Amino acid sequence: MNKSAYQSLRWSVEADIRLLVRDESIVKQITDNVMRSVLAEVSTQEVNRQRHKREFLTFRRNPEATVPGWAFRKPGIDSRLPTL
């Protein structure tokens, strides 16, 4: 989330809270807590996305793993037709 997106989100959240609460100090506290929670969730999602991308890009097949039988079949319909 870039700075301008964060600021516009914060302003809209603060405006919505102002409709319900009149005390400015409470509005500020609520807005700070909400935005802190939003930023924590966004950063957690970004960390998970980067971790999954790194795991995908650095994937190595285990040479000791048993390969399934379907991996050796030829693709297409030829392997399913009976031989005459």
Q: How far is CA 78 from CA 71, 73, 83, in A?
A: 15, 10, 9
Tell me the C-alpha to C-alpha distance, in Å, between residue 26 and each of 15, 33, 39: 13, 11, 20
Residue 76 has pLDDT above 80, yes or no: no
pTM of the model: 0.62
> pLDDT tens for residues 37-48?
999 999 999 999
Tokens of 20: 């319900």
pLDDT tens, 8-39?
Answer: 999 999 999 999 999 999 999 999 999 999 99
